[in-house]
Amino acid sequence: MSDSEDDYMSDKLLIGCEKEDVRPGLLFNKSQKRKHELYKKQQEDRLKKPKSYHEQEKEAREKGLSTAISSENKGFKMLEKMGYKAGTGLGKSVAGITEPVGIKTKDDSSGVGRNEHLKETIQKKRDMKEMTLKVKESEFRSARAEKHNIMMLQKDYKKAQRTCEELDLKSGKKSPDLPHFWSKQTLEAMKQKNKSETEDESDSSTEEEEEIISEPKLCDMIMYLRREYCYCIYCGDYVKDQEGTAMLCPGLFRRDHDE
């Protein structure tokens, strides 16, 4: 045997064969062992500790509710005489409930019906909030629709007034049938042109009043244009040709043309 080869009976080879015991669950020191013993003692004390009155009451109640009525019970025997069979539902169609109605117990100290009252109050507040949001949304839509209607009224008014003025001047008229048929600028220009030199200067310094736009005035101009010139501002054309033949026009007002 050479010196480079290890002797299989040598101490070196035997020491290498030794292994540490690493099996799980073993306690290697006093600290771990003491903690384990303390934990076991706490668990034993907890099991030995008498249950509180409420715990005993709860266990007894659950045990009683989960226990079926004995067939020796007088009430159960009366049901059997009336045709009832264990495990079936109540009623002639045997479609009734097969389990007794559950009992809800209160574990807190709140008064009877208090939780239901709180739920009802919360639901009322939630309903009021939703109603308020709906009202605000409705008011917003109404305000937006009103704003749109005002804009369209102003647009139609100016268009009708401009058309009345143009057709009147074209036909040779010197003044409008009603003041609002022509623009205030045109009326003021005519006034300044025809003003006499003997008029007071105070009249020329009078501030120009803002023109009031309204639906009745717009209707006046629409009817005037249709009556005098057979013209529709919404069609943008004459509703009768030179021979007097009626042209296609859905109606007098905007709503007739929007449909």
* Sign of the C-alpha dihedral computed for residues 156, 157, 158 and 159 taken in this order: positive
Task: Provide mean pLDDT across the span 140-169.
Answer: 93
Percent residues over pLDDT 70 in the chain: 71
pLDDT band (50, 70, 90) for residue 215:
very high
Task: Provide mean pLDDT across the span 20-34.
Answer: 62
209 or 196: which leads in pLDDT: 209
The structure's pTM equals 0.48
Instruction: Give DSSP secondary structure letters for 133-176.
Output: HHHHHHHHHHHHHHHHHHHHHHHHHHHHHHHHHHHHHHHT-SS-
pLDDT at 86: 72
201 or 109: which leads in pLDDT: 109
244 or 193: which leads in pLDDT: 193
Q: Is 180 helix (H, G, I), strand (E, B) or coil?
A: helix
pLDDT band (50, 70, 90) for residue 116:
confident
pLDDT band (50, 70, 90) for residue 183:
very high
Alpha-carbon distance of 126 to 119, in angstroms, equals: 11
pLDDT tens digits along 68-113: 777 778 877 887 787 777 767 666 666 666 676 766 666 666 666 7
Chain centroid offset of residue 48 CA: 56
